[in-house]
Chains A and B, each alone.
Chain A
Amino acid sequence: MYLPDFEYFTPNSVEEACQLLSKYGSRAMPIAGGTDIVVKMKKEVLAPEILVSIGHLPELKKIEYVPGKGVVIGACVTHNEVQNSKILQEKYLSVCEAAHQMANNQVRNLGTIGGNICNAVPSADMPPILIALDTTAKIVGSKGERTLPLENVFKGPNQTVLDYDELITEFVIPDGSFTGSTYIKFGLRASGALAVVGVAASVQVEDGVIKDARIVLGAVSPVPLRAKEAENLIRGKQPSEALFEEAGVIASGECRPISDIRASAEYRRDMVRVFTRRALLKAVNEGHV
């Protein structure tokens, strides 16, 4: 398979990238790792006349801890860089594990976190765990910048709130009080399979009581979905397997799965029940794993 012709720009900064995207409008698209866009261009799903490279920009390649702010992850950090980050391994091993489960080694060396988010595929592995940790996304455009909670970035399958001249530049996992978090995924194979169901959970347990919790479901609705009724059920209660089973039942009622080649809607719904229970138990008992 060969690609159609296009022009390629290598800007020196995010600002310059946004100006190029603004200047060429719908004719141009940004490219980071390329694992999605190159394949979509081969299949003629996308046909940009201009690609603006952002994957090489050093300002988008950092992972750092900023006291008082949280862990800052640049948008063009690859999945393997997340997986191997000492800072993340120490604070949120759950995020490293999700990055590890995202795809095979070759793809993890190319594909970026920002790309995984901006492609807005419902089965993507990074959104649930990042949303469960209250991650925010910094969005920079030619007219200025804004910061949104990550869960508000998604509009539908392959759709985000980003304007054509806007880029996500970084994600911030704020210093929070979550005592545990996890992402568990069910795919049809151990490697290289998209999630049939992915469930992320984070909990804040104090004095044996769940003060706060997030349950985020992937691959069972057009966008990553917070199971808010299930969260409300467990807030203020003592963790127990029976409680988490009940939360699973509620969460499976909240999701909106479809039937496709990988699984039926009924199966996905029931797996949400099981995985919600397992994820909550894991986050309560094992910390950030």
Chain B
Amino acid sequence: MPEFVVGKDGIKRYLVTITVNGVEYTKMVKANSLLVNFLREDLDLTGTKRACEQGDCGACTVLLDGKPVNSCMVLTVSVDGREVTTVEGLASNDKLDILQEKFIEHSAPQCGFCAPGILMSAKALLMRNPNPTEYEVREAIAGNLCRCTGYVHYVEAILDAAAASQERKDGKNG
């Protein structure tokens, strides 16, 4: 049970400790705080987008303990003690993730609003399955709606990223 204090307005604030992109944050949140709003408004991580807000579009996809979820449906208080990865956590030391590189190379996004969510779904797929088929890629991003592209370049970029990271790994091993 997270500890809490009752505010002047009579509403409880719960003490939560959440690791976001490798950094541990301890914050007071109200029970009605949604993870997407916590990330965007409390932590200023605005890469995670808010769109349909009912779990249909996938724009708010983040990894919760390594699994993609819609952060618009997750209560922040329920994430106490857990680990969240957002799109800001993909690049390391100013070096883009291979998926981000390939998204640029293939001009995969158009307006770009769905791109952070698709990146997170694709990241989760490649962590679990480094060598996916086209069907598996399409299945993995089925919960991410894109109204610009038609997904073709996204699918190509993800498949290319998988192939490239396999090559790099093989190169290292060889």
Enumerate chain A interface residues (CB-CB to B < 8 A): 1-12, 31, 34-35, 38-39, 42-43, 51, 53, 55-56, 80, 103-107, 109-110, 190-192
Q: Which residue of B lies closest to A55 (CB)?
A: B78
With a cutoff of 8 Å between Cβ atoms, the chain A residues found around residue B53 in the complex are: 1, 42
Q: Are A56 and B78 in contact (CB under 8 A)?
A: yes
Q: Please report whether the interface of chain A is mostly helix, strand, loop or mixed according to DSSP.
A: loop
Q: Are B73 and A192 in contact (CB under 8 A)?
A: no
With a cutoff of 8 Å between Cβ atoms, the chain A residues found around residue B34 in the complex are: 2-3, 38
Q: Are B31 and A105 in contact (CB under 8 A)?
A: no
With a cutoff of 8 Å between Cβ atoms, the chain B residues found around residue A192 in the complex are: 56, 142-143
Q: Are B69 and A104 in contact (CB under 8 A)?
A: no
With a cutoff of 8 Å between Cβ atoms, the chain A residues found around residue B2 in the complex are: 10
Q: Are B37 and A10 in contact (CB under 8 A)?
A: no
Interface: B61 (CB within 8 A): yes
Q: Are B74 and A110 in contact (CB under 8 A)?
A: yes
With a cutoff of 8 Å between Cβ atoms, the chain A residues found around residue B54 in the complex are: 1, 39, 42-43
With a cutoff of 8 Å between Cβ atoms, the chain B residues found around residue A105 in the complex are: 68, 121, 124, 139-140, 142-143
Q: Which residue of B lies closest to A191 (CB)?
A: B142
Q: Give 1 or 0 for each of B62-91: 1 = CB within 8 Å of chain A CB.
A: 001001111001110110000000000000
CA distance A107 to B142 in the complex (A): 11
A4-B32, A39-B73, A42-B53 as given contacts; A106 in contact with B78, CB under 8 Å: no
Select which of A31, A51, A106 is within 8 A of B68 by beta carbon: A106
With a cutoff of 8 Å between Cβ atoms, the chain B residues found around residue A3 in the complex are: 32, 34
Select which of B32, B67, B139, B143 is within 8 A of A5 by beta carbon: B32
With a cutoff of 8 Å between Cβ atoms, the chain B residues found around residue A55 in the complex are: 78
Select which of A4, A56, A109 is within 8 A of B64 by beta carbon: A109
Q: Give 1 or 0 for each of B35-75: 1 = CB within 8 Å of chain A CB.
A: 00100000000000000011110100100100111100111
Given A42-B53, A105-B140, 4 other A-B contacts at CB below 8 A? Answer: A2-B34, A9-B1, A34-B73, A38-B73
With a cutoff of 8 Å between Cβ atoms, the chain B residues found around residue A31 in the complex are: 75, 78
Select which of A1, A5, A104 is within 8 A of B142 by beta carbon: A104
With a cutoff of 8 Å between Cβ atoms, the chain A residues found around residue B30 in the complex are: 5
A4-B32, A8-B31, A10-B2 as given contacts; A109 in contact with B78, CB under 8 Å: no
Q: Give 1 or 0 for each of B136-152: 1 = CB within 8 Å of chain A CB.
A: 00011011000000000
CA distance A262 to B75 in the complex (A): 31
| Min distance, Cβ B50 to any Cβ of chain A, angstroms | 9
21 A–B contacts from the bound complex (CB under 8 Å) = A5-B32, A6-B32, A8-B12, A8-B31, A10-B2, A12-B1, A34-B78, A35-B55, A35-B73, A39-B54, A39-B55, A42-B54, A51-B75, A104-B58, A106-B70, A106-B121, A109-B64, A109-B67, A190-B142, A191-B143, A192-B142
Q: Are A107 and B64 in contact (CB under 8 A)?
A: no
Interface: B11 (CB within 8 A): yes
With a cutoff of 8 Å between Cβ atoms, the chain B residues found around residue A9 in the complex are: 1
| Min distance, Cβ B152 to any Cβ of chain A, angstroms | 16
Q: Give 1 or 0 for each of B8-46: 1 = CB within 8 Å of chain A CB.
A: 000110100000000000000011101001000000000
CA distance A73 to B75 in the complex (A): 25
With a cutoff of 8 Å between Cβ atoms, the chain B residues found around residue A4 in the complex are: 32
With a cutoff of 8 Å between Cβ atoms, the chain B residues found around residue A51 in the complex are: 31, 75
CA distance A80 to B117 in the complex (A): 19
CA distance A8 to B140 in the complex (A): 32
Q: Give 1 or 0 for each of B92-109: 1 = CB within 8 Å of chain A CB.
A: 000000000000000000
Q: Are B31 and A106 in contact (CB under 8 A)?
A: no
CA distance A5 to B29 in the complex (A): 11
Q: Are B140 and A106 in contact (CB under 8 A)?
A: no
With a cutoff of 8 Å between Cβ atoms, the chain B residues found around residue A34 in the complex are: 73-75, 78
CA distance A39 to B74 in the complex (A): 10
Select which of B11, B61, B75 is within 8 A of A106 by beta carbon: B61
